[in-house]
Protein backbone atom coordinates (compact mmCIF):
# COMPACT_ATOMS: atom_id res chain seq x y z
CA UNK A 1 0.00 0.00 0.00
CA UNK A 2 1.33 3.43 -0.92
CA UNK A 3 2.19 5.64 2.06
CA UNK A 4 4.36 8.39 0.60
CA UNK A 5 3.83 10.50 -2.53
CA UNK A 6 6.89 12.29 -3.89
CA UNK A 7 6.19 15.29 -6.12
CA UNK A 8 8.47 16.98 -8.59
CA UNK A 9 7.82 20.74 -8.66
CA UNK A 10 8.54 22.39 -12.02
CA UNK A 11 5.99 21.14 -14.52
CA UNK A 12 4.06 19.15 -11.90
CA UNK A 13 3.02 21.57 -9.17
CA UNK A 14 3.63 24.84 -10.98
CA UNK A 15 4.60 25.63 -14.54
CA UNK A 16 7.71 27.70 -13.96
CA UNK A 17 9.27 26.33 -17.16
CA UNK A 18 8.39 29.48 -19.20
CA UNK A 19 10.10 31.58 -16.52
CA UNK A 20 13.15 29.29 -16.47
CA UNK A 21 13.21 29.27 -20.28
CA UNK A 22 13.11 33.06 -20.41
CA UNK A 23 15.89 33.32 -17.81
CA UNK A 24 18.10 30.81 -19.61
CA UNK A 25 17.54 32.47 -22.99
CA UNK A 26 18.42 35.87 -21.58
CA UNK A 27 21.57 34.42 -20.09
CA UNK A 28 22.49 32.47 -23.24
CA UNK A 29 22.21 35.70 -25.21
CA UNK A 30 24.50 37.41 -22.71
CA UNK A 31 26.97 34.52 -23.05
CA UNK A 32 26.62 34.64 -26.86
CA UNK A 33 25.82 30.93 -27.18
CA UNK A 34 23.00 29.25 -29.12
CA UNK A 35 21.43 26.28 -27.31
CA UNK A 36 19.05 24.47 -29.65
CA UNK A 37 15.71 23.02 -28.58
CA UNK A 38 16.94 19.43 -28.55
CA UNK A 39 19.86 20.19 -26.22
CA UNK A 40 17.65 22.34 -23.99
CA UNK A 41 15.00 19.58 -23.73
CA UNK A 42 17.65 17.00 -22.84
CA UNK A 43 18.57 19.08 -19.78
CA UNK A 44 15.03 19.11 -18.33
CA UNK A 45 15.02 17.74 -14.80
CA UNK A 46 18.65 18.65 -14.13
CA UNK A 47 19.71 21.10 -11.45
CA UNK A 48 20.89 24.51 -12.63
CA UNK A 49 24.39 23.64 -11.46
CA UNK A 50 24.47 20.44 -13.51
CA UNK A 51 23.02 22.21 -16.53
CA UNK A 52 25.82 24.77 -16.51
CA UNK A 53 28.44 22.09 -15.91
CA UNK A 54 27.23 20.43 -19.11
CA UNK A 55 26.94 23.68 -21.07
CA UNK A 56 30.39 24.74 -19.92
CA UNK A 57 31.77 21.57 -21.50
CA UNK A 58 29.72 21.84 -24.69
CA UNK A 59 30.42 25.53 -25.37
CA UNK A 60 33.85 25.87 -23.71
CA UNK A 61 32.63 28.61 -21.40
CA UNK A 62 35.44 30.21 -19.40
CA UNK A 63 33.16 31.20 -16.50
CA UNK A 64 32.97 29.49 -13.13
CA UNK A 65 29.86 27.32 -12.78
CA UNK A 66 28.85 29.13 -9.58
CA UNK A 67 28.92 32.49 -11.37
CA UNK A 68 26.81 31.12 -14.23
CA UNK A 69 24.23 29.79 -11.75
CA UNK A 70 24.00 33.12 -9.94
CA UNK A 71 23.59 35.05 -13.19
CA UNK A 72 20.79 32.80 -14.40
CA UNK A 73 19.12 32.93 -10.98
CA UNK A 74 19.09 36.73 -11.11
CA UNK A 75 17.24 36.61 -14.46
CA UNK A 76 14.80 34.05 -13.02
CA UNK A 77 14.08 36.01 -9.85
CA UNK A 78 13.44 39.22 -11.76
CA UNK A 79 11.03 37.42 -14.13
CA UNK A 80 9.34 35.47 -11.32
CA UNK A 81 8.65 38.56 -9.24
CA UNK A 82 7.18 40.45 -12.20
CA UNK A 83 4.99 37.59 -13.48
CA UNK A 84 1.42 37.97 -12.12
CA UNK A 85 -0.05 35.05 -14.10
CA UNK A 86 1.86 32.26 -12.36
CA UNK A 87 -0.55 29.61 -11.08
CA UNK A 88 -0.47 26.11 -9.70
CA UNK A 89 -1.26 23.56 -12.39
CA UNK A 90 -4.92 22.69 -12.74
CA UNK A 91 -6.09 20.18 -10.14
CA UNK A 92 -2.77 19.70 -8.32
CA UNK A 93 -3.66 21.69 -5.18
CA UNK A 94 -6.87 19.71 -4.73
CA UNK A 95 -4.90 16.44 -5.07
CA UNK A 96 -2.25 17.63 -2.60
CA UNK A 97 -4.89 18.66 -0.07
CA UNK A 98 -6.90 15.44 -0.41
CA UNK A 99 -3.80 13.25 -0.09
CA UNK A 100 -2.73 15.18 2.99
CA UNK A 101 -6.20 14.85 4.52
CA UNK A 102 -6.11 11.09 3.90
CA UNK A 103 -2.88 10.61 5.80
CA UNK A 104 -0.35 10.32 2.98
CA UNK A 105 3.10 11.70 3.61
CA UNK A 106 4.01 14.20 0.89
CA UNK A 107 7.59 15.03 -0.04
CA UNK A 108 8.95 17.43 -2.65
CA UNK A 109 11.96 16.22 -4.64
CA UNK A 110 12.84 18.98 -7.09
CA UNK A 111 15.96 19.75 -9.09
CA UNK A 112 15.37 23.42 -8.32
CA UNK A 113 17.50 25.31 -5.82
CA UNK A 114 16.18 25.79 -2.29
CA UNK A 115 15.73 29.51 -2.86
CA UNK A 116 13.47 28.84 -5.87
CA UNK A 117 11.48 26.17 -4.02
CA UNK A 118 11.02 28.60 -1.13
CA UNK A 119 9.67 31.30 -3.45
CA UNK A 120 7.09 28.89 -4.89
CA UNK A 121 6.07 27.36 -1.56
CA UNK A 122 5.69 30.73 0.13
CA UNK A 123 3.77 32.22 -2.79
CA UNK A 124 1.24 29.37 -2.83
CA UNK A 125 1.20 28.35 0.84
CA UNK A 126 2.38 24.78 0.26
CA UNK A 127 4.61 24.20 3.28
CA UNK A 128 1.85 22.81 5.57
CA UNK A 129 1.25 19.84 3.25
CA UNK A 130 4.83 18.57 2.86
CA UNK A 131 6.87 16.82 5.54
CA UNK A 132 10.20 17.23 3.73
CA UNK A 133 11.72 19.29 0.91
CA UNK A 134 14.61 17.79 -1.08
CA UNK A 135 16.53 20.04 -3.48
CA UNK A 136 18.68 18.86 -6.34
CA UNK A 137 21.36 21.40 -5.43
CA UNK A 138 22.37 19.07 -2.56
CA UNK A 139 23.47 16.29 -4.91
CA UNK A 140 26.50 16.08 -7.21
CA UNK A 141 24.44 14.29 -9.88
CA UNK A 142 21.02 15.31 -11.20
CA UNK A 143 18.14 13.18 -12.40
CA UNK A 144 18.23 10.58 -14.03
CA UNK A 145 20.51 9.64 -11.14
CA UNK A 146 18.19 8.30 -8.39
CA UNK A 147 19.92 9.98 -5.41
CA UNK A 148 17.24 12.65 -4.89
CA UNK A 149 14.45 10.06 -4.69
CA UNK A 150 16.51 7.73 -2.53
CA UNK A 151 17.00 10.60 -0.09
CA UNK A 152 13.27 11.38 -0.18
CA UNK A 153 12.49 7.75 0.73
CA UNK A 154 15.07 7.83 3.53
CA UNK A 155 13.56 10.98 5.01
CA UNK A 156 10.07 9.54 4.76
CA UNK A 157 11.15 6.33 6.52
CA UNK A 158 9.03 4.53 3.94
CA UNK A 159 10.25 1.50 1.93
CA UNK A 160 10.56 2.35 -1.77
CA UNK A 161 7.80 -0.13 -2.65
CA UNK A 162 5.41 2.05 -0.63
CA UNK A 163 6.45 5.29 -2.37
CA UNK A 164 5.29 6.74 -5.67
CA UNK A 165 6.71 9.61 -7.69
CA UNK A 166 4.84 12.09 -9.89
CA UNK A 167 7.13 13.43 -12.62
CA UNK A 168 6.84 15.26 -15.93
CA UNK A 169 10.34 14.78 -17.39
CA UNK A 170 12.19 11.89 -18.99
CA UNK A 171 15.09 12.35 -16.58
CA UNK A 172 12.77 12.41 -13.57
CA UNK A 173 10.95 9.26 -14.64
CA UNK A 174 14.23 7.42 -15.18
CA UNK A 175 15.44 8.55 -11.75
CA UNK A 176 12.28 7.31 -10.05
CA UNK A 177 12.51 3.95 -11.78
CA UNK A 178 16.21 3.64 -10.89
CA UNK A 179 15.21 4.24 -7.26
CA UNK A 180 12.78 1.32 -7.50
CA UNK A 181 9.65 3.43 -7.22
CA UNK A 182 6.31 3.42 -9.02
CA UNK A 183 6.26 6.48 -11.27
CA UNK A 184 3.29 8.39 -12.64
CA UNK A 185 4.19 10.45 -15.69
CA UNK A 186 2.34 13.75 -15.93
CA UNK A 187 2.03 14.58 -19.62
CA UNK A 188 0.68 18.11 -19.46
CA UNK A 189 0.13 20.56 -22.28
CA UNK A 190 3.31 22.27 -21.09
CA UNK A 191 5.50 19.18 -21.57
CA UNK A 192 7.80 19.30 -24.57
CA UNK A 193 9.98 16.57 -26.11
CA UNK A 194 9.72 14.28 -23.06
CA UNK A 195 9.54 10.46 -23.17
CA UNK A 196 6.97 8.85 -20.85
CA UNK A 197 7.45 5.28 -22.03
CA UNK A 198 9.22 4.19 -18.83
CA UNK A 199 6.51 5.50 -16.49
CA UNK A 200 4.21 2.95 -14.87
CA UNK A 201 1.24 5.02 -15.95
CA UNK A 202 0.68 8.37 -17.62
CA UNK A 203 -1.94 10.98 -16.79
CA UNK A 204 -2.91 14.17 -18.58
CA UNK A 205 -4.80 15.77 -15.66
CA UNK A 206 -4.69 15.43 -11.89
CA UNK A 207 -8.40 14.61 -11.80
CA UNK A 208 -7.32 11.12 -12.93
CA UNK A 209 -5.85 10.54 -9.47
CA UNK A 210 -7.30 10.45 -5.97
CA UNK A 211 -6.42 9.02 -2.56
CA UNK A 212 -8.16 5.69 -3.15
CA UNK A 213 -6.47 5.10 -6.51
CA UNK A 214 -3.02 5.98 -5.18
CA UNK A 215 -3.35 3.90 -2.03
CA UNK A 216 -3.78 0.70 -4.04
CA UNK A 217 -0.94 1.22 -6.52
CA UNK A 218 1.83 -1.37 -6.45
CA UNK A 219 5.42 -1.13 -7.64
CA UNK A 220 6.04 -3.08 -10.83
CA UNK A 221 9.67 -4.21 -10.73
The CA distance from 183 to 202, in Å, is 9
- For the entire predicted model, the pTM comes to 0.81
pLDDT tens per residue across all 221 residues of the chain: 899 999 999 989 998 878 888 899 999 999 999 999 899 988 887 889 999 999 999 999 999 999 999 999 999 888 887 777 788 999 999 999 999 999 999 999 999 889 889 989 998 999 999 999 999 999 988 899 999 999 999 999 999 999 999 999 999 999 999 999 999 999 987 777 899 999 999 999 999 999 999 998 876 55
The CA distance from 99 to 118, in Å, is 21
Closest C-alpha among 152, 73, 57, 148 to residue 118: 73
The CA distance from 171 to 142, in Å, is 9
The CA distance from 92 to 156, in Å, is 21
CB 143 within 8 A of CB 6: no
Amino acid sequence: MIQTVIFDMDGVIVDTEPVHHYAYQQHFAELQIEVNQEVYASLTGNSTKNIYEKLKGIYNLPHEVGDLVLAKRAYFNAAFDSKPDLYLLDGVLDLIQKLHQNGFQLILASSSAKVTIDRIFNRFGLYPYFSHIVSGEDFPKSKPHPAIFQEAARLSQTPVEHCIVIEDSTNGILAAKAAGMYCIGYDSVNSKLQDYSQANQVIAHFSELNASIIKELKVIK
